[in-house]
Amino acid sequence: MDGLNTYRAGPDEHGHFGIYGGRYVAETLMPLVLEVEAAYRQAKADPTFQAEIDRYFTHYVGRPSPLYFAERLSRHLAGARLYFKREDLNHTGAHKINNCIGQALLACRMGKKRLIAETGAGQHGVATATVAALFGIPCTVYMGAVDIARQAPNVFRMKMLGAEVRPVSAGSATLKDAMNEALRDWVANVDSTYYLIGSVAGPHPYPLMVRDFQSIIGREVRAQLQAMEGRGPGTMVACVGGGSNAIGLFHEFLDDRDVRLIGVEAAGEGLNTERHAATLNRGRPGVLHGSRSYLLQDKAGQIIDAHSISAGLDYPGVGPEHSWLKDSGRVEYVAVTDNDALAAFRMCTRLEGIIPALESSHALAHAARIAGGLPKDHLLVLCLSGRGDKDLDTVGHIDGVTP
Amino acid sequence: MTATSRIATRFAALRRERRRGLVAFVTAGDPDPQASLAIVKGLPAAGADVIELGMPFSDPMADGPAIQASSLRAIRSGATLASTLALVATFRETDATTPIVLMGYYNPIYGYGVEAFVRDAAKAGADGLIIVDLPPEESEELRGPAANVGIDLIVLVAPTTGPARLPWVLKKASGFVYYVAVTGITGTKSAAAADVGRAVETLRRETKLPIAVGFGIRTAAQAEAVASHADAAVVGSALVGKIAENLDAAGKATPGVVPAVLGLVRELADGASRAKVA
């Protein structure tokens, strides 16, 4: 045993999970980050804030999202009973909306007049554009030029919803660069603007706040599985880019020591190539985008461009709580290649009639890898974090499928 | 360690001479190691009172397009933290008095190892550090080791630093205080001189340390206006922009790059020194 009483106590009051987390931002932003923290602390203690979130969760997002027993896939894999937590069925098609509802309500409480966000796959951008429309706040989304090209449907949706999408061509023109630009925008528009970060990354309080809004996922799973099976899960699997759906699923179960928790990173073209996004598997601790966490970096401390077929996992950093959970050994972090994720995408589509996001397909691929070795009554829960409509072009191009 | 640092000595001299100074920023290794060394070596004679030397980083989040591009040019030409310190050491062979402040982001330093970095930086002859993404809340792990080897960790104060926070931030200050004149990234907006004046006045009530003001200063007239309120004006984006203007189509330095940058430094230094000292 590891001597820890609980894995659910973090972060401390300065936003640290062990050596990870913190608030590594320029002085110009520091007072704002403290303002967000104070506002969130106040909101969290206010029952009307939580009630408002719950109301939107139920009537707007469509929560609780179903917990679905994937019977055909379970039979096919000939092992554990595989359950999908259907975050893909949320309004806007992914778990990202959970966080956006919470943060947009906070931005309204703070009297902010403008939202900005970064996005990779565009799911967070769409969710932010959606809440911006819902609450009547102008919104600017930063998105890497490479991601704009490969996630065109989501760019359309954001524009339809009234958001301004600003392409970022610096660096690798993906999520990391979009986050740099969003931070630059924030520092230039401090009075009016609320930065709605989409993952459990960034300076404190964002990793805490985003986790709080996403941990509804795990709480629902506990209740749903209890109702369906009369017991808790054996193993839980979720993909990890920044890591918000994974923390959302895991947090409820961190102290259930008999539940095995597995985060799945993107191995891109392979962990032994230079083209992957497996930050926890291949990175080392560093400081980027406001927090200390594992990072993909070279010997000189320059950030390395990540690679994944999935835009939402294509990020050289990871949320600080995941770094801490890795070091503490509570969560295992594995990696799945582009090709294995594609195979899982096809398998799920054909066997279950569910087209998963390429991000979620990484988790699926690992679940498929381990399911056959588990007992028939083992409950394996997978977070199906988003739907794959946005990825049809990417997969269709590879598979030679045309409309 | 010397009892009085180069930074303190230089600002004391400025005050004695009743003159306002220029802090000149360039990125180490931009556009290539040779041209960069020639620029840095030429800065004191061109009128720079303090050299702010950028440590290139792939993701300079608080910097505008000019310094981003400068950082990238330096990285592409092979610059690392080690080569930056080597540049400082070479500079020190012929200049024992001009203060050098290293400016950058925390990740390369953290990767190098904090203790090793401050030791090597002191040995090379660096005098101060400005680490943009290390606010006072996170800076203790660097401040102590830096102080132990006689290196000042320069604090930044911004227009957003409110009255409740300011005294606490200044309590951590040493060397000089860097006032960020605008809320924004480097090389974009410029502040109104009157706003700078009011802000510096507030700072003066809280600290005896010299105050340098930067962000958005591009011309000799702006340097003069800002310096009239502070001990020194900081110019960066305009200088690295001058480097960018003097590259060939392949991005290589032209023979004009060193004189062009130093010529602009001369203008700006003259501007700053024209500032009236009350």
| C-alpha–C-alpha distance, residues B128 and B55, integer Å | 13
pLDDT digits (tens, 9 = 90+) for A23-77: 999 999 999 999 999 999 999 999 999 999 999 999 999 999 999 999 999 999 9
Q: Contacts of residue A170 in chain B, CB cutoff 8 Å?
A: 68
Q: Name the residue in chain B with its Cα closest to that of A190.
A: B183
Nearest to A25 among B58, B133, B183 (CB): B133
H/E run at residue B206: helix B193-206
First to last CA, chain A: 55
**Mean pLDDT confidence for B192-198:** 91
User: Does the annotation count B201 as an active-site position?
Assistant: no
Whether B63 contacts B47, CB under 8 Å? no
What pTM was estimated for this model as a whole? 0.96
| C-alpha–C-alpha distance, residues B52 and B54, integer Å | 6
Has residue B222 got a pLDDT over 60?
A: yes
A131 touches chain B (CB under 8 A): no
CB contact under 8 A, A187 and B106: no
pLDDT of residue A170: 83
Has residue A151 got a pLDDT over 70?
A: yes
pLDDT category of residue B1 using cuts at 50, 70 and 90:
very low
Treating both helix axes as pointing N-terminal to C-terminal, what angle do B33-46 and B81-94 enclose, rounded to 10 degrees? 40
Mean pLDDT computed over every residue of chain A: 96
pLDDT digits (tens, 9 = 90+) for B82-98: 999 999 999 999 999 99
A19 touches chain B (CB under 8 A): no
B242-261 residues touching A, CB cutoff 8 A:
none
Nearest CA among A153, A97, A142 for reference residue A117: A142
Q: Which domain holds residue B18?
A: 3-274
Residues A263/A269/A274/A276 CA torsion (nearest 10 deg): -30
* C-alpha A96, offset from chain centre: 7
Q: Domain count of chain B?
A: 1
pLDDT digits (tens, 9 = 90+) for B208-219: 999 999 999 999
Nearest to A287 among B110, B156, B162 (CB): B110
Mean pLDDT computed over every residue of chain B: 96
Quote the minimal CA–CA distance from A168 to chain B in Å: 12
pLDDT of residue B11: 98
Strand order in the sheet with A139-144: A164-168, A139-144, A114-119, A193-195
Nearest to A302 among B75, B161, B165 (CB): B75
Has residue A160 got a pLDDT over 60?
A: yes
CB pairs under 8 A between A and B: 116
- The DSSP symbol for A57 reads I
Whether B75 contacts B199, CB under 8 Å? no
Instruction: Provide the 3-class DSSP secondary structure of residue B21.
Output: strand
Has residue B2 got a pLDDT over 50?
A: no
Quote the minimal CA–CA distance from A35 to chain B in Å: 11
Whether B127 contacts B99, CB under 8 Å? yes
| C-alpha–C-alpha distance, residues B162 and B165, integer Å | 5
- Considering Cα of B232, then B237, then B238, then B240, what sign does the dihedral take? positive
pLDDT category of residue A92 using cuts at 50, 70 and 90:
very high
User: Position of tokens 């960018």?
Assistant: B244
Q: Which of A96, A112, A176, A390 is catalytic?
A: A96
pLDDT of residue B188: 86
User: Among residues of chain A, what percentage have pLDDT more than 70?
Assistant: 99
Give the mutation candidate from A14, A23, A287, A297 for the B interface (greatest B CB count, under 10 A): A287
Query: How do B128-131 and B152-153 pair as beta strands?
Result: parallel
Residue B215 backbone zone (phi > 0: left; psi -120 to 50: alpha; other: beta): left
pLDDT category of residue A3 using cuts at 50, 70 and 90:
low
Has residue A131 got a pLDDT over 50?
A: yes
| C-alpha–C-alpha distance, residues A94 and A154, integer Å | 12
Q: Is the ipTM of this complex over 0.90?
A: yes
Q: How far is CA A35 from CA A30, A32, A110, in A?
A: 9, 5, 9
**Mean pLDDT confidence for A136-148:** 96
pLDDT of residue B3: 57
Q: Which pair of structure tokens corresponds to residue B245?
A: 């203007």
- The DSSP symbol for A318 reads -
Q: Which of B30, B63, B120, B267 is catalytic?
A: B63
| C-alpha–C-alpha distance, residues A259 and A234, integer Å | 5
Q: Contacts of residue B108 in chain A, CB cutoff 8 Å?
A: 300-302
User: Which neighbouring-strand residues pair with A21?
Assistant: A16, A292
**Mean pLDDT confidence for B157-162:** 96
| C-alpha–C-alpha distance, residues B148 and B118, integer Å | 9
CATH number of the domain encompassing residue B24: 3.20.20.70
User: Which neighbouring-strand residues pair with A238?
Assistant: A263
Burial status of residue A78 (CB atoms within 10 A of its CB: 0-12, 13-18, 19 or more)? exposed
pLDDT digits (tens, 9 = 90+) for A364-388: 999 999 999 999 999 999 999 999 9
Q: Name the residue in chain B with its Cα closest to that of A296.
A: B107
Q: Contacts of residue A191 in chain B, CB cutoff 8 Å?
A: 183
pLDDT category of residue A2 using cuts at 50, 70 and 90:
low
Q: Name the residue in chain A with its Cα closest to that of B60.
A: A180
Nearest to B68 among A170, A287, A302 (CB): A170
Please count the other Cβ atoms lying within 10 Å of the Cβ belonging to residue B216.
Answer: 23
Whether B98 contacts B131, CB under 8 Å? no
Has residue A7 got a pLDDT over 70?
A: yes
Q: Which of A65, A293, A361, A385 is catalytic?
A: A385
B117 touches chain A (CB under 8 A): no
Nearest CA among B85, B82, B130 for reference residue B104: B130
Q: Which pair of structure tokens corresponds to residue A398?
A: 């590879």
Count CA atoms closer than 13 A to A92's CA, side-chain side.
Answer: 30
CB contact under 8 A, A295 and B137: no
Q: Which residues contact A272 (CB under 8 A, 6 or more apart)?
A: none
A146-205 residues touching B, CB cutoff 8 A:
170-171, 176, 180, 183-184, 187-191
Has residue A103 got a pLDDT over 80?
A: yes
User: Does the annotation count A244 as an active-site position?
Assistant: no
pLDDT digits (tens, 9 = 90+) for A189-245: 999 999 999 999 999 999 999 999 999 999 999 999 999 999 999 999 999 999 999
Nearest to A22 among B107, B138, B158 (CB): B138
